[in-house]
Structure 1
Amino acid sequence: MKLSDHITVAVPLRISFAGGGTDLPIFYKRRIGSVLNTSINKYIYITVKKQNVLFGASYRLNYSDTEIVEDISQIKNDIARECLKLLPVPPPLYISTIADLPASSGLGSSSSFAVGLLKSLHMLRGETVDVMQIAEEACEVEMYRLNRPTGKQDAYAAACGGMNIFRFFPDESVRCIPVVSDQNRLNFFFSHLLMFWTGITRDASKILSDQTQSIDQKFSTLCEMADQVDILHRITKSSFCPIEIGAILHRNWVMKKKLSTLISSPKIDQWYQLAKDAGAYGGKICGAGGGGFLVFLAPIKAHDSIRLALSELIEIKINYEEDGVQNISSFSR
């Protein structure tokens, strides 16, 4: 079989509903971490192409910057560099990426990029691997090779897709538990969601580093946040009631803010309260916090009131995505 030499993959972004922070090693090394999240219909697209030698460079990368280098060690993009070290492919090589939404906004985009690039490199090497292995490799790149203070949930959400509970065990193993629900119930749930762009990008590493300081004082809060996952799971298996889920989102938001003063701000708190006053059941800042996207669960009849209350923000329409990382184009010449 002839190997592909031009591959494009699509990788979904994600929203976490409960348990964020318990996917960090500082927690799951002491107690099993639990997160419930879902992939959404917003993506990062990665193209990897074996380049013609006539272009005269070993590696060309196009993202928000352009890099043209001769050696992997010269690549400034940390994730691309370490993925190529982990899964070497003979140069010359071209890598490009484009996204539906901005980076550093709390939707797991860096892990989605790692998952998509690793999937593409495996395909170039003629290797078929399961999504759990790709997620594990993405965690290896971000958490251990780059030593970033990030958790595991983003990589697994991007690789697996759908709405899932992920359990993170002290021995580094991960279990994926799909949240079983038919499409009609998922459509009903997502019809109650609103997402707004705050216009604020932030460095998640700083927030997560601050969150892990004095962990003994915060451990009981994280345990309570992990327990919310099973409560939320029971609701999704029965009523999928937006009011009950919204109450859990609000409870998690209140607990999350206790972990670091960097998670929220007076402006974010103001926006959140405006949405609550306009009828939202509950909500959260996506990801580590500090900016990015605000998500609210609210009765459909209150949506227009919430949009009016948050008119200075940009609404982004979202829906459910069942699939994780997908090969959308591959061919050989």
Structure 2
Amino acid sequence: MIVRARAPLRLGLAGGGTDVAPYCDLHGGAVMNATIDKYAYATVDDAGHGELELHAQDQGVHARCEPADAESVDPGVKLLAGAYLRICRDFLNGERPPLRIRTFSDAPPGSGLGSSSTLVVALVTALSEYFSLPLGEYEVAHLAYAIEREDLGLAGGKQDQYAAAFGGFNFMEFHAGDRVIVNPLRMKDWLLAELEASLLLYFTGVSRESARIIDEQARNAAGGVQRSVDAMHELKLEAVQMKESLLRGDLDAFARTFQRGWEAKKRMAASITNPMIDAAEATAMAHGAVATKVSGAGGGGFMMFVCDPGDRVRLSAALRMQGGTLLDFHFNPHGAVAWRANR
């Protein structure tokens, strides 16, 4: 039996960072995000040779070991091993069957599209289907979060897992005690089309290690650094205002909120922006962009630009001169899905 799964990557539209502890535990967080038609994929089948085989195909890392030795595999497949170990522990009474698990993603790690967390959601979804586990979206997202943050000790927030599990446009609330509420937005077709025409997704060419930036944000929140905490309060408010602007179909308000959120985000941690990002922003603003922000923790990865669709061509040409690449995308209303392949 072969099981495949895919989970959608997301654009962080507003409130990113307020889903990271300890801020969300102390003050409550709010995030507005949307998934796109770029994915992380996972395949699970019987290896056929009694060993555990883990293959991060897009990273070129391939490991084989006895299932009992899964904790000591190559760090390049730690996400695959972490998902396998958690599923075995929580649902198989500790039994470790020999499996072949393969993954790849449409975006590189550190891109700012939530690729690592989305990959774990795809893994949990695939393993859940393989073992016929009755897991809903909230359970899949929470399990993926626990694998990354608790089992593997990777720094980060919660929005990526819930975005990948649920899909679509969602306003998310994060509270103490790991309580999360996902509020789907019903978007009109014309608004989705206008948003797609107005948004440019630009890859800077630099993948960054988000954990360092997130650690700085967490230290600032825990230490009560007022400039950073005030910025997070503002980001949370921007998420609420962005939700309201989308529900009203007010794209001018959407753009204003988008830009205010970016200005607030830059005050959360010094490493969120840098001269490369500043230069891309300045170029974009001089060629038709009305708002910008970095998707994800910052420091590199993908940047998003809002423009009038009539300025899209000249803005695209100017951004290409900066040395990065543009990624075409469409919004995707569907969350993680698994299927059994008859091969």
Distance in 2 of aligned mates of 1:18 and 1:330: 36
Alpha carbons of 1:96 and 1:254: their partners in 2 closer, same or farther (altered >3 Å)?
Answer: same
- Which residue of structure 2 aligns with residue 202 of structure 1? 208
The partner residue of 1:8 within 4, 23, 27 is 4
- Which residue of structure 2 aligns with residue 288 of structure 1? 297
Distance in 1 of aligned mates of 2:341 and 2:282: 51
Q: Which has the higher helix share?
A: 2
Structure 1, unmatched stretches of 5+, are none
- Which residue of structure 2 aligns with residue 219 of structure 1? 229
Matched-pair identity in %: 27
* SS of the residue 2:172 aligns to: strand
The reply to whether residue 322 of structure 1 matches residue 328 of structure 2 is no
- Which residue of structure 2 aligns with residue 59 of structure 1? 53
- Tell me how far 1:331 sits from its aligned partner: 4.2
- Tell me how far 1:202 sits from its aligned partner: 0.7
Distance in 2 of aligned mates of 1:61 and 1:142: 18
The reply to whether residue 169 of structure 1 matches residue 175 of structure 2 is yes
Show the 5 A alignment for 1:118-133.
118-133=124-139
TM-score by length of structure 1 reads 0.94
- Tell me how far 1:323 sits from its aligned partner: 0.4
Q: Deviations over 1:32-83 (max 9, x none)?
A: 2000000001111111111213xx5333424311111112122232222221
Show the 5 A alignment for 1:8-47.
8-47=4-43
Conserved? CA contact 1:187–1:320, under 8 Å: no
Distance in 2 of aligned mates of 1:61 and 1:189: 37
Structure 2, unmatched stretches of 5+, are none
Letter in 1 for 2:2: H
Distance in 1 of aligned mates of 2:28 and 2:229: 12
TM-score by length of structure 2 reads 0.91
The reply to whether residue 229 of structure 1 matches residue 235 of structure 2 is no
Conserved? CA contact 1:189–1:240, under 8 Å: no
Q: How many residues align?
A: 325
- Tell me how far 1:308 sits from its aligned partner: 2.1
* SS of the residue 1:159 aligns to: helix
Conserved? CA contact 2:11–2:35, under 8 Å: yes
Distance in 2 of aligned mates of 1:304 and 1:44: 29
The partner residue of 1:144 within 138, 150, 163 is 150
* SS of the residue 1:87 aligns to: helix
RMSD over equivalenced CA pairs, Å:
1.5
The partner residue of 1:74 within 29, 53, 72 is 72
